[in-house]
Amino acid sequence: SLVYDVNTKQIQLPEASDDMAMNIAQINKLTQDLIAESNPNFTPKPRDDSTAMIKKLFENGLKQTKQQHFPEALKSISLAIEMAQRKRTPWEAFAIQLQELQFMVKNRIDLCLIQGKFMDALQDIELLQNTGVNTSDVFIRKTDALIKLKQYELAKVECERGLSLDPTNVKLKALLLENTRKLAEYNG
Amino acid sequence: LSYDYDESSETWPFFLLTLLCVVLIPLTIAQLYALLKSENSEKATRQKSPLDELDERYTSAKMIDFQKKFSNKRSKLTSKRTIFVVVGWAIVALLVNKIGGNEAIKEAASSLFDPYELLGIATSATEKEVKSAYRKLSVKFHPDKLSKDLTEQQRLDMEEQYVLITKAYKALTDELTRENFLRYGHPDGPQATSHGIALPKFLVNSSGSPLVIISYIAMLGFILPFFVSRWWSRTQSFTKKGIHVKSASYFADRLFNFKPSQVVTVDMIIKWLSHAEEFKIFYPNLTPSVFESLLHDHLNRSSSSDLEDVKLRIVAKTHSLLFGLLDIATSFRNLEITNVTLDTFKSIVQATPSGPYSQILQLPNVNQKAFLEGAVDDIRTLGKLFTFDDKKIGKILGIDDEGKLKDTLTVASQIPHLKIVRAEFKVPGEPVVTPSSTPHIVLKVMVRSARHKFFTPNKIPDEMCSEPQDFDSLRDPFASTLEQPVIPETFAPYFPVKRTGSWCCIVVLQKDGKVIQTPMITNRLSFVNLSKDFDKRKVKDVDSEFDPKEWEVGTIKIPFSQPAPPQKGDYFFRVIVKNTDYFGADLDITMPMSVRD
Amino acid sequence: NQALKRRYQAELARKEIFTEQW
């Protein structure tokens, strides 16, 4: 049975199943954020102070990218994303939070790819795909990352899917050719 | 009001005999057919392979013991049905004997009127023969013609005989008499008939009747309901795919609650399998975590000491569980789980963990440590392995013994690889796929060895890939694929049961990346190409040395569960043809469906 | 929003699994 701690205002369920534990974590997070909220008339509109902080970090990252200080840029943008994860409350508009995350992650992907962090890039790409972004850019980057990670069979699958959705894409066709060559060598 | 009972056992033997024959004759025919069929059946069409003998040799003694213990426990000869048939016929023989020795029956039979017998002619005699027989006999038996020396009794007998002969003649010739004979079995018209109960008296009357009533109650109240309910619950306990409904509902629950952020791994599938109800029924005292660790032991080819038999038995059961899970995963349209389920299948059959080097590690005699540590080139595929000469391969795999190396190379070269030659959506009788038609997928594949030199699909001329266009083929396009032979037995010395693998064909809609139908399973393809000598290490010029006529093109046809879209356009599908038994034997292509008028 | 956060947090675990697999 549920246990409620009056001091922390959190509920607990000993021996909860995975799904139940997830629900309880959600409730506790909501409670915490509600308690921390100073404005009694809060709305789904994203808080301006949070937006300002996130924007500052992100623009810092963009500036460093222009200056070709890629490791620093990566750090700044990662910080911006972490800031958004920490500061945004569950009741701030989902559409805006999603767009914000997707936009920042897209930048991070390119920075990872430039610096050879292919596995990190792949995780960000799959996050985008899981949240419904299926543009050719995503397929191009995923194919590239997979080829660099020597996963030629997976790269072929992604590239072909990308071409199914955009059959005339030149970059994807070029990647398919490159991957086919690599696959031939892989298979002796 | 008063019935005659069968005191003299005249009728109940016939009643029992009829009942027995009605059951025994079809059952005997069915059993004989099954006995003969099981000898010939698939063995006749299954291809032989060099791996058959190797598989025998590499199967451990422990495994052979296990196979003897658990498979074919009851041969057809000693099955319950056969015993029933034999006992049944023995009872029939007894009854026939009883009938033959029964005086009352003989008497009743003798009083039957048989004109042919009386006249001493065959039943097929013509009218002329009847007349001449009568004339001869009437001369012999006519009262006026009888000899004077006969006694009174003899005279009476002869007269009686004469009357009978005359009646017999009339029965066959005279209209009225013949009608009587045909209708009542006697020329004089209806004879005395009796009606009675074809059961001995003691069964129906006071002394025996409690016994009869008790047996009726037992039959209708207990025995019949018992068998019916046992059959019904057995049928209800298992799904169409042959897995327990509890296992199926567990898998469905896992799939329903599956979060896309989870990465599907072979370990996850093994964890799911360990919760199968079938395992619980086999071994009620063991927990799912025990089953899970046994399955991992199997993958790592490590012994499970006193649980060895348990391990082998549950491994054998995974075959039907994995097919059941496959069916459920495709119903949920989940491609990731479908693919990993089939990878798990391979892992279990070959007792090799799924990883980047599985294609190599599935081979026999490979020294894993030497292979992984001593690697200069990163060899992950059999095709890459065969770019080296045999001696070098021995070094790479860490095999010193020449005999063992030869075995390993045989296995490696006999693992079937599929190469796509042609792929299209086909509507029978139409040149294109028209809107809302029912297409099916036709794949023309080349089964080739990893050893063979690569040749492009355009080297295979169109004539070798054409489909018959006669009426029967158009009516049933899938019949032609059944003419291909059944694939040979899999080389799987670690799997407890001798098996033939199969290819599972999965169709995915590229637009959403989801599976669109349950898989089509096939185990018919010719492996004759595998023994061809076209070694990539020896062939210098493909163009001159390759003769397509020497190669066999295989066909895989996949029915399409939905009609073609109603609008014209190009729709893309991904077709995955995954083998259940070998790593490296898969095919994964994208093909367009061009819907045109 | 919480589901999105969970999906983002899962990146680290996924990276570990794929690194091990490949």
Least confident of A140-144, A160-164, B229-233, B521-525: B229-233
Which has the closest alpha carbon to A102: A131, A122, A77?
Answer: A131
pLDDT at B75 over 90: no
Q: Compute the nearest-CA separation of B269 from chain C (Å).
A: 15
DSSP-derived 3-state class of residue B584: coil
Contact state of B590 with A161 under an 8 Å Cβ cutoff? yes
pLDDT at B29 over 80: yes
* The token pair that represents B547 in the structure block: 């003769």
B574 Cβ under 8 Å from any chain A Cβ? yes
Residue B99 belongs to some domain of the structure: yes
pLDDT in tens, B240-277: 788 999 999 999 999 999 988 899 999 999 999 999 99
pLDDT in tens, C1-22: 999 999 999 999 999 999 999 9
> Hey, of B336, B339, B380, B587, which one would you mutate to test binding to chain A, going by the most A CBs within 10 A of its CB?
B380
Residues of A in contact with C13 (CB under 8 A): none
State mean pLDDT over B327-356: 96
Nearest to C1 among A94, A127, A151 (CB): A94
State mean pLDDT over B324-349: 97
Residues of C in contact with B261 (CB under 8 A): 6-7, 10, 14
Asked if B101 and B77 sit in the same domain, the reply is: yes
Residues of A in contact with C21 (CB under 8 A): none
Residue A79 belongs to some domain of the structure: yes
- Cβ(B312)–Cβ(B325) below 8 Å: no
Residue A119 belongs to some domain of the structure: no
B233 Cβ under 8 Å from any chain A Cβ? no
Asked if B151 and B42 sit in the same domain, the reply is: no
Residues of B in contact with A187 (CB under 8 A): 381, 383-384
Distance CA B581, CA B344 (A): 10
State mean pLDDT over A66-83: 95
State mean pLDDT over B39-47: 66
pLDDT, position B474: 84
Determine how many CB atoms are found less than 10 A away from the CB of residue B222. Answer: 10
pLDDT at B77 over 60: no
pLDDT, position B76: 54
- How many domains is chain B built from? 4
Q: Compute the nearest-CA separation of A61 from chain B (Å).
A: 28
Q: Is pLDDT larger for residue B307 or for residue B131?
A: B307
- How many domains is chain A built from? 3
Least confident of B6-20, B139-153, B302-316, B430-444: B139-153
pLDDT-based confidence at B73, cuts 50/70/90?
low
Q: Compute the nearest-CA separation of B369 from chain C (Å).
A: 18
State mean pLDDT over A165-169: 96
The ipTM of this complex is: 0.93
Range of the domain at A12: 1-38
Neighbours of chain A (3+ CB pairs under 8 A): B, C
Residues of A in contact with B378 (CB under 8 A): 150
Query: Residue B197's beta-bridge partner residues?
Result: B5
pLDDT, position B201: 66
pLDDT, position B207: 64
pLDDT, position B422: 95
Asked if A93 and A147 sit in the same domain, the reply is: no
For chain C, the helix, strand and coil percentages under 3-state DSSP, each to the nearest 5: 90, 0, 10
Residues of C in contact with A92 (CB under 8 A): 1
Range of the domain at B560: 415-597
Question: Amino acid identity, residue B78?
Answer: T
Residue B376 belongs to some domain of the structure: no
State mean pLDDT over A22-33: 92
State mean pLDDT over B225-237: 89
* The token pair that represents B197 in the structure block: 């109960």
> Hey, of C17, C19, C20, which one would you mutate to test binding to chain B, going by the most B CBs within 10 A of its CB?
C17
DSSP B486: B
Q: Given phi > 0 = left and psi -120 to 50 = alpha, else beta, which region is A44?
A: alpha
pLDDT, position B196: 73
Asked if B150 and B233 sit in the same domain, the reply is: no
Which has the closest alpha carbon to C14: B113, B265, B229?
Answer: B265
Contact state of C22 with B356 under an 8 Å Cβ cutoff? yes
Residue B308 belongs to some domain of the structure: no
Residues of C in contact with A102 (CB under 8 A): none
Asked if A30 and A58 sit in the same domain, the reply is: no
Nearest to C14 among A22, A81, A123 (CB): A123
DSSP-derived 3-state class of residue B89: helix
Asked if B16 and B126 sit in the same domain, the reply is: no
Asked if B131 and B50 sit in the same domain, the reply is: no
pLDDT, position B129: 82
Residue A125 belongs to some domain of the structure: no
pLDDT in tens, B473-530: 888 899 989 999 999 999 999 999 999 999 999 999 999 999 999 999 999 999 999 9
pLDDT, position B528: 94
Nearest C-alpha in A relative to C14: A123
